[in-house]
Amino acid sequence: MKRHAHKDRSTHDSRLTAHDSPQLRGQIVASFGRRYLVELPDASVLDCVTRGKRGSLACGDRVSVVFRTEGQGVIETLQPRSTLLYRSDAVRQKLVAANVTQIVIVAAPLPAFHEELLNRCLAAAEHGGITALIALNKSDLPQTPGTLSALEPYRKMGYRVAVFSAKRDLAPLVPYLKGQTSVLVGQSGVGKSTLINALIPAASVRVAELSVALDSGRHTTTHARLYHLDAASHIIDSPGMQEFGLHHLDASALEQAFVEFRPFLGQCRFRDCRHVTEPGCAISVACAEGKINRMRLESYRGLVEKR
């Protein structure tokens, strides 16, 4: 699948402040609001803050820090990012992870599979130039065949789907994680924390029981955290989410983020076609001919109409 080059569209400055003290290079391995844990090359970790009220840093960011006191430091400089995954609404942006090579969208038969959230995460991945993997956990549940059927259109679009049970057998998932810096995203209750515990038992991530009555899980991860699987493979666990805002994508970026639209773009009667109700829309025709999944088109239209 063709990936598009991506420039960081956020307005975050790469230079946080100037400082004359010697600086140490490190990577943010956990973010807690305006506090960050920064891992240094010797594997030691500093509890760091930024100067003043500056924030806008993400788990996975590479930074330069100044040692302040025992176990503590100040982040001075943000190094250039290769990728940045973030979500946004009309008011603010929420950074998810930086310098990742793969987004692992974790889904499960229970809680109920949210296709709208999946579509938004895939669009964010496409926009960010990051490879996407759909990871179906809890494959031992009886609802699995129905969920796999719902995911079949995504396989046909070229998206990879890994099917596994974090509690029983991770073997189908592990090869996809080798040599990657992955970020786990997905709604609460799909088993991301269980997955981290199975991959890295020492992580001791707290796992909450799934609330069947509410058909959702409690948020067990309240901050993003990076773990090392081996020297070349890393994984970032992010807090569970029920939505993924894409307010930072305009109509042009959104249509490019839906990969199956690309062969038909530029063929509409009107150059500024939004693919909603306009006559002569090539995307609508492709959908009517079965070349584009109707639910995907409706998901796109919902995003455009909310802008």
For 81, half-sphere exposure in the C-beta direction (CA atoms, 13 angstrom radius) is 31
Per-residue pLDDT, averaged over 236-244, amounts to 81
Tell me how far CA of residue 189 lies from CA of 92, 169, 276, in angstroms.
Answer: 26, 18, 34
Return the pLDDT at 256: 97
Span 252-271, pLDDT tens digits? 999 999 999 999 999 999 99
Class of the domain covering 84-237: alpha beta
| Neighbour tally for 127: CB within 10 Å | 19
Q: Which CATH superfamily is domain 24-78 in?
A: Nucleic acid-binding proteins (2.40.50.140)
pLDDT exceeds cutoff 80 at 21: no
Q: Do residues 124 and 6 make contact, with C-beta atoms less than 8 angstroms apart?
A: no
Can you tell me which residue has the tokens 């492709």?
286
Return the pLDDT at 243: 75
Instruction: Sort 96 into a burial class: Cβ within 10 Å, 0-12 / 13-18 / 19+.
Output: buried
List phi, psi (to 5°) of 190: -80, -5
Question: 200 in helix, strand or coil?
Answer: coil
pLDDT exceeds cutoff 80 at 15: no
Q: What residue spans in the chain does CATH classification 1.10.40.50 cover?
A: 251-305
Quick one: what percent of the chain has pLDDT higher than 70? Answer: 85
Confidence of residue 20 (pLDDT cuts 50, 70, 90): low
DSSP codes of every residue in 218-240: -----SEEEEEEETTEEEEE---
pLDDT exceeds cutoff 80 at 224: yes
Q: Which CATH superfamily is domain 251-305 in?
A: Probable gtpase engc; domain 3 (1.10.40.50)
Amino acid at position 193, single letter = S
Give the least confident one: 5-9, 71-75, 167-171, 301-305.
5-9
pLDDT exceeds cutoff 90 at 207: no
CA-to-CA distance for 224 and 184, rounded, in angstroms? 10
Span 132-141, pLDDT tens digits? 999 999 999 9
Q: What residue spans in the chain does CATH classification 3.40.50.300 cover?
A: 84-237
CA-to-CA distance for 131 and 142, rounded, in angstroms? 29
What does the DSSP 8-state code read for residue 263?
G
Amino acid at position 287, single letter = C
